[in-house]
Amino acid sequence: MRTVGVEEELLLVDPRTGEPRALSTAVLAIAAKESRGRGHAFTKELQGQQLEFATHPRSGMRELAAEIERWRAVAARHAGEAGAAVVALATSPLPAGPALTEGKRYRWIQEQFGLTALEQLTCGCHVHVSVESDEEGVGVLDRIRPWLSVLLALSTNSPFWQGHDSGYNSYRSRVWGRWPSAGPVEVFGSARRYHQQVRDLLDTGVLHDEGMIYFDARLSRKYPTVEVRAADVCLDASTTALLATLTRGLVDTAAREWREGEPVARHGVGLLRAAAWQAGRSGVDDVLIHPLTMRPAPADHVVYALLGHIEKALDENGDLEFARQGLAELLRDGNGARVQRRLLHRTGSLREVVAACVRRTQEGPH
């Protein structure tokens, strides 16, 4: 069974006002002191108002969900000691200014990308799924392309930007798409062509290093995994676990198709960008672009098409009932974007939206 690991980016906010606070250095110092040199799960990100953690590789999805909840709780404790709170929101509902993390690499990015870097206070969720080789990994990347927009739709958790409703369920995906290497990619066909594309991009001088290869899905630089990067950070840890479950199912299904020599869907990058735009616009609350037909269809139809596509893999992994139940609950109750808008409608205050989401990040939806 393939192992799965998750990286989550969280916002650090003022526990009283809900505004982002650039305290990641202080939080990381507290984490380092507590670990006594044994290492910890947390790292810095581009902006000082962000904190990232990574889980261990897991085979069981319930164990993965438990680890995500545990690291969220530890992050909340460390942040509290630094005078902040953590919240799993993909953008800040309240206005926030730039606070780039110190370091030579980040200074280069700021100088190179200007306002794009300064406005990049966004939090994503990255899912790593193990693969046996780069060839298998690229076979997977080529075959999951049309389905990544559905993962984005399920995760959408960023309706607000600088104090206003953006009109999108995932405005993070629109802000993130400003990077020159971000988004959908073409069919590669082989590991050799994949690595050549990466080298060609680096040789342009536009990117600082391979860490800036921001494809929606890529081969990991550090691990023998495919890294799927399309999603918003999810408000609830249970949604993150569902996302990881579906992603493993997609990878298993694509790897089987690759081994059996099934042809790749040759949807152009332009169509995939349109599908990602629609997913970011409407989440699961309206139509999506169906990955098989590239035509609009009700969101629930598209979501259950994904389930049908990977059903065999889910069943073999013992994940089918977990995925069915999780999708039914998400479609019924809504994801982070719907929860945030519902909170604003009820309270009339973005500050209250953040406060409620801080509690939900730590305690879950109930």
Residues 178-237: pLDDT tens digits?
999 999 999 999 999 999 999 999 999 999 999 999 999 999 999 999 999 999 999 999
DSSP 4: E
Residues 299-342: pLDDT tens digits?
999 999 999 999 999 999 999 999 999 999 999 999 999 999 99
Count of the separate structural domains present in the chain:
1
Whether 110 maps to a domain, the answer reads yes
Q: How confident is the model at residue 364 (pLDDT cuts 50, 70, 90)?
A: confident
CATH code of the domain in which 329 resides: 3.30.590.20
pLDDT at 134 over 80: yes
Are the beta carbons of 41 and 75 closer than 8 angstroms?
no
pLDDT at 49 over 90: yes
In the predicted model, what is the mean pLDDT of the chain? Answer: 97
Distance CA 254, CA 265 (A): 11
Place of tokens 């909170």: 343
Longest dimension (CA), the chain: 57
Following DSSP, what letter does each residue of 81-92 receive, concatenated?
A: HTT-EEE--SS-
Residue 40 has a pLDDT of 83
Place of tokens 């979501």: 303
The distance in angstroms from the start CA to the end CA of the chain is 32
Are the beta carbons of 175 and 280 closer than 8 angstroms?
no
- Give the residue among 100, 103, 93 at the shortest CA–CA distance from 119: 100
Q: Which pair of structure tokens corresponds to residue 79?
A: 């942040």
Question: How would you class 28 by CB atoms within 10 Å of its CB: exposed for 0-12, middle for 13-18, buried for 19 or more?
Answer: middle
Helix (H, G, I), strand (E, B) or coil at 95: coil
Whether 229 maps to a domain, the answer reads yes
Return all residues near 285 (Cβ < 8 A) that are at least 6 apart: 169, 299, 334, 337, 338
Whether 317 maps to a domain, the answer reads yes
Mean pLDDT of 104-110: 96
Q: How confident is the model at residue 39 (pLDDT cuts 50, 70, 90)?
A: confident
Return all residues near 136 (Cβ < 8 A) that are at least 6 apart: 255, 258, 259
Are the beta carbons of 49 and 96 closer than 8 angstroms?
yes
Residues 256-283: pLDDT tens digits?
999 999 999 999 999 999 999 999 999 9
pLDDT at 37 over 80: no
- Give the residue among 237, 267, 189, 188 at the shortest CA–CA distance from 55: 237
pTM higher than 0.85 = yes
Q: Which pair of structure tokens corresponds to residue 47?
A: 């902006």
Which is it for strands 225-232 and 164-165: parallel, antiparallel or unpaired?
A: unpaired
Q: How confident is the model at residue 107 (pLDDT cuts 50, 70, 90)?
A: very high
Are the beta carbons of 230 and 250 closer than 8 angstroms?
no
Residue 109 has a pLDDT of 97
Whether 332 maps to a domain, the answer reads yes
Q: Which pair of structure tokens corresponds to residue 96?
A: 């926030």
Residue 223 has a pLDDT of 95
Whether 366 maps to a domain, the answer reads no
Residue 350 has a pLDDT of 98
Mean pLDDT of 233-247: 98
Are the beta carbons of 267 and 294 closer than 8 angstroms?
yes
Which domain covers residue 127, as residue numbers?
A: 4-361
- Give the residue among 74, 16, 18, 70 at the shortest CA–CA distance from 49: 18
Residues 152, 363, 13: CA angle, nearest 5 degrees:
70
Are the beta carbons of 146 and 291 closer than 8 angstroms?
yes
